[in-house]
Structure 1
Amino acid sequence: MHIKDKIASLSWLRSEIIGRNMGFETPFGLRPLVYADYTASGRGITSIERHITRILQYYANTHTEDDFTGKTMTGLLHEAERVIKQAVNAGPKGKLIFTESGTTGGIAKLQQILGVYWPPATRERVNSFLLSCLTRNPDREDCNLALNNFIQDNKPIVFVGPYEHHSNELMWRHTLCEIQEIPMGKDYGVDLEELERRVSDPLYAHRLKIGSFSAASNVTGLRTEVYELARILHRYGALACFDFAACAPYIEIDMNRDSEAYFDAIFLSPHKFLGGPGTSGILVFNEDIYPKKLPPTVAAGGTVDYVSPEKEEFIKDIEAREKPGTPGILQAIRIALAFRLKEKVGLPLIDEIERHYFESFMQAFAGDDRITFYGPLEPDRKIPIIPFNIKHKDKYLHPKFVTRLLNDLFGIQTRAGCSCAGPYGHYLMNIKQQFSNYYRCLITNIGYIGIKPGWVRLNLHYALDMTELNYLIEAVKFVVEHGAKFLPSYIFDIKSGEWQHRKQACSAPISLDLDDIFDPSPIQAPVIDASAQYADALAQARTIAAGLSEDFETMTFEKELADLMYFYVHSGINYHPVSERIL
């Protein structure tokens, strides 16, 4: 079957995406909503939401097990758990925990299980106890020093990669662990030789070793050799844990590939799946890493077999004892349905379509040095996440300005910023330590968030059709060619980084007011063919650009700020001059 026919075969899926090509108001008129931000969050699916509504007929608390509704929902929850564990090949020892906030919640729960979670207030309280003890007993200083040295020499060590999401790096920085970043290898991936050298170091032989790596970068889409990493980690007694947030909707997850290439834990954010909005995070782990003799990580209702006035007996089953309170029943069901949808589409088709889209997109900009792409560009090494910046003269267009133009002129949804991957961003944009310090000073001391370096990020999801792909390409080409002409039309807020059209601000189309809640109007059905709207938007943008000029005055700043302003701003911005003493 030709690739165009394979793309066309997913027309049934496109007709299910809630809000696809929905019209919305922008400063330039009505535009079709074209979603290219699946890396941040997925989109709702009509049939899944309809089925959830059916299930709500039977909704009850799963702690109620002796009546019709409670038994029905308990059965659905257990079915959802089986579906999810099967989807990741969790194996007979695989345990599933639903967490509160995507991958971040999964990592936090893993840290609690491993005994390294260290809330700042707890750390502060313990330190105050030790300091108070030392103050009262100054002759015990040697003992105090010995204790601190013992902790430093024996606390767990965590190895992370060079392109982690903040959640998989910052959270480990603030635990009872030492953290080491494994640098990039020559192929821009994790340096496997350096990982093996460090994890095999006899200095760490007596310590708990944890590898926690992104399975793919949420910035560049670069895929990690997760099975090879797992082999290396297990060879030297380390745990192999992986963050699948960026790539779980698109690739196979096999927690038990073989006796060496298995995962001790994975965490991911199902809200990034088609059908996933409204879901919780999940942590799936091998029961061997769980301390069964200890109480659950949160002792609460639903975790106990018996409670007397003096003592409590906790449930032995790991999954049950780690469900404190009422579980997110509907969230769990949604996750299972999203995984089943992924399975129905099929991984081979997903991979083939996305590879074709990525190659088509990159070919459209081949040789154009006005657009800068970041990270490796080999399609067989990545999922089609594309970070880029657009050059103008000797600087760039601010990424949030580009995202705003794509939204206002074309209805295209993308994301601008550092994508919660600041350390990786320093590497990609070649930001030296001196300038990093300057940025941090101006951002934290003065609040100039708008100068923070970043990029535009879009992803080429398999649910797009060829018309949408070509529209995306033409829209980005337009901004490359004409984007700078629109700078005088927008106001830049250096405090927030937001760009607002000078003449028109569009009101929110929906609210939580009761009038909106009880509005009987049907939800706008997905528009299957919006090619006419795409053509109109492109034609109107070209007409507007023809009447604009690049000959306009740009804002100049004092040297301390000008050196950090990698983008152009039209004159008229409000800001307070930077004091040299702050720098």
Structure 2
Amino acid sequence: MDKLEQIRADFPILQQTVNEEPLVYLDNAATAQRPTPVLERVRQFYQTDNANVHRGVHTLAQRATTAYETARQKVQHFLHAAAPEEIIFTRGCTEALNLVAATYGRTHLQAGDEIVISVAEHHSNLIPWQQLAHQTGARLRYIGLTATGELDLAAAQQLINDHTKLVAVAHATNVLGTINPIQQLAALAHAHGAVIVVDGAQAVPHMPVDVQALDADFYAFSGHKLMAPTGIGVLYGKAALLADMPPYQYGGEMISAVHQQTSTWAAAPYKFEAGTPNIAGAIGLGAAIDYLQTIGMAQIAAHEQQLVAQALPALLQIEGLTVYGPHDPAQHTGVIAFNLVGLHPHDLATALDMEGIAVRAGHHCAQPLMEYLGVSATARASFYLYNTAAEAAALVAAVQKAKEFFHLGTGEIK
């Protein structure tokens, strides 16, 4: 990618050593690092414009409100939503998905209805629907995977039927690195009168996203995975659906009028943003979007593809290493999950950390997927725009070194 050294210079955290080795940060699927322009924008807000939004007529309040609502417009254009009113600020992707379950779900589902999700979902896009099914008497059904770790679209065509009221899937999975066919799933859901909810946490930071082209009814993501502060997220919803949904929480900001015995609600998005919002987080999210757009989402996606095309085949050449998900780099996001026979993923991650390489190990908030794969955990490396070819090579070399250090043979990870 052009200007990669210049980009890396914007991330002071990357310019350090860990265990006397240069830091190689490959835990981007968990959270991304923040560039200096984002940090500076948040600092500037607190130092010059800090005030509550929507409530004051004084200058600072007006500046804060303008910055907050400008951030909403930036998200709208970033997702290609039809209007800023379709953008709701939340605490993160998890809260956004819970918002849909608690409002749309509880008012539209009943006993006998069905919810369809995939077996590869993050817990944030599984447990809200599991609990909604318990609360309403609806049935939760799972789409399985193909032999290559992709969503089984033929099975989805069988599962999604006239009993289906809601389909919830990740745009890109957080373990297998697969991109799901959202347009086809949306068409299937809509053909049967169902809505589709998309978990975009692993997609929005890494590729162009057009919610209207996808025909998603709801689309959620977290800011911290695309270099914004923690504690800020987004729920996109089609305007007609949001207008018909009850509030998620009650209090200040979300009201139209309050009387002693009755209240009325503001229009979307404000009826879903009770209380003082994460103003600085939203402004930081807007700054992160500005930063990404100066580089270009298509360029970022291409850069990550190059890193995967380098690392994935090399990892597959290591005897005793199992890579989960597609083995074709062209069918892969920047997420690679793997296990080395004879070594627990936590021990492998510790060995990599001794080489300065930060990866994630565990069930990745996807325990049903781990059960489906027949493993208890995996190690996971995940690339982002600031990672380099040298770092991809370092990952492969460190895995090979760990294998040799522990004198590991071959076999199957359980």
Q: How far is 1:95 from its partner?
A: 1.3
Q: State whether residues 385 and 460 of structure 1, in contact with CA within 8 Å, keep that contact through their aligned partners in structure 2.
A: yes
2:395 to 472, 485, 489: 472
Which residues of structure 2 form unaligned runs of 5+?
A: none
Aligned to 1:397: 343
Partner residue, 2:59 = 68
Deviation at 1:291, TM superposition (A): 5.2
2:111 is paired with a residue whose SS is: helix
Q: Does 1:190 align with 2:135?
A: no
Structure 1 position 76, deviation (Å): 0.6
What TM-score, normalized to structure 1? 0.66
Match of 1:299 among 242, 250, 258: 250
Find the partner of 1:343 among 257, 281, 293. 293
CA contact (8 A) 1:405 1:483 kept: no
Indicate conservation of the 8 Å contact 1:62/1:73, yes or no: yes
Residue number in structure 1 paired with 2:117: 160
- Aligned partner of 1:276 in structure 2 is 228
CA distance in 1, matches of 2:264, 2:302: 52
> In structure 2, the residue corresponding to 1:41 is in which secondary structure?
coil
State the distance in 2 between where 1:278 and 1:197 align.
Answer: 39
Once the two structures are TM-superposed, the CA of residue 476 in structure 1 deviates from its matched residue by: 1.9
What residue is the counterpart of 1:328 in the other structure? Answer: 278
> Aligned residue for 1:357?
307
Match of 2:11 in 1: 17
Look up the SS of the partner of 1:352 in the other structure: helix
Q: Is the Cα–Cα contact under 8 Å of residues 371 and 480 in structure 1 kept in the other structure?
A: no
Shift of 1:46: 1.2
> What is the alpha-carbon distance in structure 2 between the residues aligned to residue 12 and residue 232 of structure 1?
44
Distance, in Å, in 2 between the alignment partners of 1:198 and 1:466 is 42
Write the mapping of 1:62-461 to structure 2, written as runs, cut at 5 A: 62-92=53-83, 95-100=86-91, 102-116=92-106, 152-153=111-112, 156-175=113-132, 176=136, 177-185=138-146, 188-201=149-162, 204=163, 209-257=165-213, 261-273=214-226, 275-290=227-242, 292=244, 296-315=247-266, 317-391=267-341, 396-408=342-354, 410-428=355-373, 430=374, 453-461=376-384
Relative distance call for 1:269 and 1:295 in structure 2 (3 A) is closer
How far apart in 1 are the matches of 2:313 and 2:210?
33
Q: Indicate how the Cα distance of structure 1 residues 566 and 10 shifts in structure 2: closer, same or farther if over 3 A, else same.
A: closer
Distance 2:184 2:110 in 1: 31
TM-aligned CA deviation for residue 99 of structure 1:
1.7
**Per-residue Cα deviation, 1:437-458 (whole angstroms, up to 9, x for no partner):** xxxxxxxxxxxxxxxx211100
* TM-score, with structure 2 as normaliser: 0.91
Name which structure has the greater RCO, CA cutoff 8 Å, separation 6+.
2
Alignment-mate amino acid for residue 80 of structure 1: A
| Structure 1 pair 295–471 and aligned structure 2 pair: CA distance change class (3 A) | closer
Q: What residue ranges of structure 1 are gaps of 5+ in the alignment? A: 1-5, 118-149, 432-452, 486-549, 551-564, 568-583
After superposition, the Cα gap between the structure-2 partners of 1:295 and 1:466, relative to the gap in structure 1 and judged at 3 Å, is closer
Query: Aligned partners of 1:469 and 1:115: how far apart in 2?
Result: 42
Alpha-carbon contact 2:76-2:84 (below 8 Å) kept: no
Percent of matched pairs sharing the same residue: 23
Report how far residue 297 of structure 1 moved.
2.4
Q: Structure 2: how far apart are the matches of 1:221 and 1:422?
A: 16
Report if the CA contact (8 A) 1:412-1:472 is conserved.
Answer: yes
Asked if the contact 1:372/1:389 (under 8 Å) is kept, the reply is: yes
Give the letter for the 1:281 counterpart: G
SS at match of 1:318: coil
- CA distance in 2: counterparts of 1:415 and 1:484, whole angstroms: 23
AA of the residue aligned to 1:183: G
Aligned to 1:120: none
Q: 1:196 touches 1:233 (CA, 8 Å); kept in 2?
A: no
Alpha-carbon separation, structure 1, partners of 2:102 and 2:110:
18
Superposition CA RMSD, Å: 2.4
Instruction: Output aligned runs, 1:499-578, within 5 Å.
Output: none
Cα shift readout 1:295-327 (whole Å, capped 9, x = no counterpart):
522221112233233332322x21122211111
Deviation, structure 1 residue 185: 4.0
Distance 1:93-1:158 versus aligned 2 partners, 3 A rule: farther
